[in-house]
């Protein structure tokens, strides 16, 4: 399990990567409202997260990208419950209703 600071940094990296689809650097994480430490501390923690398999660095001068392990941790521990609106609920219901109708039972 990650300590609170690493979890906050990992969450900021995952969210930034989801938004930008670009490797995330420490300066971007430092600008996040959820992280309140210096860029150098963030770099150190990101290096530890990389050694623990949560982040990957595509090349030396790039920021870091989340690994599958990072996404799993994010979903299981950091992402709160998501409320769907009425339209989204109906779309999901319709999708599964159509899948059931299309299936042939023998």
What number is the average pLDDT over the span 28-34? 88
The CA–CA distances, whole Å, from 98 to 87, 94, 106 equal: 16, 6, 18
**Distance, CA of 33 to CA of 100 (rounded, Å):** 44
Residue 10 pLDDT:
95
Band of pLDDT at residue 4, cut at 50, 70 and 90: very high
Chain segment 36-92, per-residue pLDDT in tens: 899 899 999 999 999 999 999 988 888 999 999 999 999 988 887 788 899 999 999
**Distance, CA of 1 to CA of 42 (rounded, Å):** 18
- Find the helix packing angle between 39-51 and 4-20, rounded to 10°: 90
Chain segment 75-87, per-residue pLDDT in tens: 988 887 788 899 9
Domain count, the chain: 1
Q: What CATH number corresponds to the domain at position 64? A: 1.10.10.10
Domain of residue 56, residue span: 4-102
């Amino acid at each position: 399990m990650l300590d609170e600071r690493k979890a906050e940094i990992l969450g900021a990296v995952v969210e930034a990567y989801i938004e930008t689809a670009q490797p995330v650097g420490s300066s971007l994480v430092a600008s996040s409202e959820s992280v309140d430490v210096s860029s150098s501390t963030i770099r150190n923690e990101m290096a530890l997260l990389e050694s623990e398999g949560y982040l990957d660095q595509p090349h030396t001068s790039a920021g870091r990208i989340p690994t599958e392990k990072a996404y799993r941790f994010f979903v299981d521990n950091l992402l709160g419950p998501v409320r769907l609106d009425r339209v989204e609920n109906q779309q999901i219901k319709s999708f599964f209703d159509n899948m059931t109708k299309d299936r042939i039972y023998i």
